[in-house]
């Protein structure tokens, strides 16, 4: 009854690995046999200060259950304090200090797979910003959250801020969804560049999950080479890319 989790990521073309500002939980590919499994992706806003640090904090907090139930606002406040402390401990030039005072921003999407019940596993998801999840059963797209079409992905999504004063409208922009996971289903959690490509592909009659699965199946630079090709041909904009594919292994 285990979940197979495949994690892949790539920085922007031309950037070093340490300039990657997305994040994922879990942080590596694995097989999860726990009764409750949490997965998350976050996309740090490049123009904000220490966005990668903030994105990593958010997915780790979600993965540890800090955002379960109604206590997410307290959990967020703790993460904001931790981010401020971590940044304050860094020696920064004056202009970086000014930028840091405005805080970091990131999109977050998390999904929790519950205990097996009546042959299925219930799932619950939350999202702020423009990361997305897609659930595929057989050859059909079963769920798309929170993206309904390619137009969902804009240049100005509302994001979670590391500074409390930047989150005045956060509650009304926090989206939730739920559903049922069956053996053989595939879940794809993606940051925005891959999500936008997915929806464009879907709107042109393709089945984007086939391309993703094919890239993951190739051994030598499969995923990275595929993303590079999409960027070169203009099918995907040049941005950090993160993917978690979650599969409930067949009995």
Could you give the percent of the chain with pLDDT greater than 90?
78
Check residues 117 and 206 and name the one with the higher pLDDT: 206
CA distance 25 to 32: 12
Tell me the per-residue pLDDT of 137-150, one tens digit each, with 9 for 90 and over.
999 999 999 999 99
Report pLDDT for 90: 83
The closest of 178, 244, 175, 242 to 26, measured between CA atoms, is 244
Mean pLDDT of 167-171: 90
Report pLDDT for 46: 86
The closest of 71, 62, 55 to 37, measured between CA atoms, is 62
Q: How many CA atoms lie less than 13 Å away from 95 in the CB half-sphere? A: 0
pLDDT at 251 over 70: no
The CA radius of gyration of the chain, in Å to the nearest whole number, is 18
Do 97 and 114 form a contact (C-beta atoms < 8 A)?
no
SS (H, E, C) 61-90: HHHCCCCCHHHHHHHHHHHHHHHHHHHHCC
pLDDT at 52 over 70: yes
23: part of which helix (H) or strand (E)? strand 22-25
**Secondary structure of residue 95 in the 3-state scheme:** helix
Mean pLDDT of 16-40: 96
* pTM for this model (two decimals): 0.94
pLDDT at 250 over 70: no
The closest of 127, 216, 138 to 182, measured between CA atoms, is 138
**Secondary structure of residue 200 in the 3-state scheme:** helix
The closest of 50, 49, 46, 43 to 24, measured between CA atoms, is 43
SS (H, E, C) 140-157: EEEEEECCCCHHHCCCCC
Do 106 and 54 form a contact (C-beta atoms < 8 A)?
yes
Lowest mean pLDDT among 12-21, 190-199, 214-223, 236-245: 214-223
Instruction: Give Cβ neighbours of residue 209 (< 8 Å, ≥ 6 apart).
Output: 134, 136, 141, 186, 188
Domains and CATH numbers, the chain: 3-248 (3.60.40.10)
- How many other CB atoms are there within 10 angstroms of residue 178's CB atom? 13
What rounded mean pLDDT belongs to the chain?
A: 93
């Amino acid at each position: 009854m285990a979940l197979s989790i495949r994690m892949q990521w790539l920085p922007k073309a031309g950037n070093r690995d340490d300039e990657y500002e997305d994040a994922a939980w879990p942080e590596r590919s694995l097989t999860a046999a726990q009764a409750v499994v949490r997965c998350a992706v976050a996309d740090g806003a490049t123009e904000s200060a220490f966005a990668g640090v903030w994105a990593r904090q958010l997915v780790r907090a979600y993965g540890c259950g800090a955002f379960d139930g109604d206590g997410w606002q307290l959990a967020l406040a703790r993460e904001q304090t931790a981010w401020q402390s971590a940044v304050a401990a860094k020696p920064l030039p004056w202009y970086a200090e000014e930028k840091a005072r405005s805080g970091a921003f990131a999109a977050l999407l998390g999904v929790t797979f519950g205990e097996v019940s009546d042959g299925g596993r219930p799932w619950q998801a939350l999202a702020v910003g423009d990361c997305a999840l897609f659930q595929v059963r057989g050859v059909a797209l079963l769920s798309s959250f929170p993206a309904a079409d390619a137009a969902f992905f804009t240049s100005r999504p509302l994001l979670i801020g590391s500074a409390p004063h930047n989150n005045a409208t956060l509650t009304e922009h926090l989206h939730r969804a739920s559903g049922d996971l069956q053996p053989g289903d595939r879940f794809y959690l993606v940051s925005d560049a891959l999500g936008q490509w997915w929806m464009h592909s879907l709107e042109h009659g393709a089945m984007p999950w086939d391309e993703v699965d094919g890239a993951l199946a190739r051994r030598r630079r499969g995923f990275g080479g595929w993303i590079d090709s999409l960027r070169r041909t203009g099918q995907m904009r040049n941005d950090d890319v993160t993917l978690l594919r979650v599969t409930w292994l067949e009995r």
